[in-house]
């Protein structure tokens, strides 16, 4: 396994659509394993392939919190097939938007259909933090960041800070 480089906003690759996975083969399983190791090292609870520069519809999730313990989950071609009418608000963060957080409203419960690590179709009903995390990671596959779901003023403030931090890192080298 390998730890991959996580790209950060405003990298244009984060705004691109990811291609469906034709089949879950050894290459995709290796990507999933590398993504899981990368996510753990970051540390995070979810990671989408575009965040490591791979434009494929693959996500990994693992939540180990007092109130929620799930995973690891490996999902290829995940899609929301059902969503509740009720919304939940979570204070979201993202490995591609480091050290920035914002309240985001999403459906409180969703059912996601995907191919697992063995290529078998699965349906999983998600609620709470898992529902938020699944939706957040699927958004990455569609070129959407959580900051796209907040006010333009707050989003622009975060992006300006990220650009400034990147320039300061580059100048320090």
Over residues 57-76, mean pLDDT: 90
Residue 54 has pLDDT above 90, yes or no: yes
Q: Is residue 101 part of a domain?
A: yes
Catalytic residue, chosen from 62, 99, 137, 165, is 137
Domain membership of residue 143 (yes or no) is: yes
- Give me the chain's average pLDDT, please: 94
Report, as an integer, the average pLDDT of 113-130: 97
Kindly state whether residue 3 falls inside one of the protein's structural domains. Answer: no
Domain that holds residue 77: 12-172
CA distance 67 to 83: 22
Residue 155: CATH number of its domain: 3.90.45.10
Model confidence at 146, pLDDT cuts 50, 70, 90, reads very high
Which of 74-78, 121-125, 132-136, 163-167 comes out lowest in average pLDDT?
163-167
pLDDT band at 71 (very low <50, low <70, confident <90, very high): confident
Based on the residue annotation, tell me whether 137 is a catalytic residue of this protein: yes
Residue 77 maps to a domain: yes
The model's pTM is 0.93
Q: Structural domain tally of the chain?
A: 1
CA nearest 88: which of 133, 125, 132? 132
Q: Name 115's Cβ contacts closer than 8 Å, sequence gap at least 6.
A: 21, 24, 75, 76, 77, 121, 122
């Amino acid at each position: 396994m390998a730890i991959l480089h996580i790209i950060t906003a405003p990298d244009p690759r984060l705004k691109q659509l990811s291609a469906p996975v034709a089949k879950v083969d050894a290459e995709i399983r290796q990507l999933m394993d590398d993504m899981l190791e990368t996510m753990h090292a970051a540390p995070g609870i979810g990671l989408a392939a575009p965040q490591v520069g791979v434009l494929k519809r693959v996500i990994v999730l693992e939540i180990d919190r007092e109130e929620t313990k799930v995973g690891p989950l490996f999902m290829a071609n995940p899609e929301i097939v059902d969503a509740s009418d009720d919304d939940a608000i979570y204070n979201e963060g993202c490995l591609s938007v480091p050290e920035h957080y914002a309240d985001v409203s999403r459906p409180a419960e969703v059912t996601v259909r995907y191919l697992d690590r063995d290529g078998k179709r699965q349906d999983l009903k998600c609620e709470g933090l898992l529902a938020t995390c699944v939706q957040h990671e699927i958004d990455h596959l569609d070129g959407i960041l959580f900051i796209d779901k907040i006010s333009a003023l707050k989003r622009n403030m975060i992006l300006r800070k990220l650009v400034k931090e990147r320039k300061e890192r580059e100048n320090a080298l």
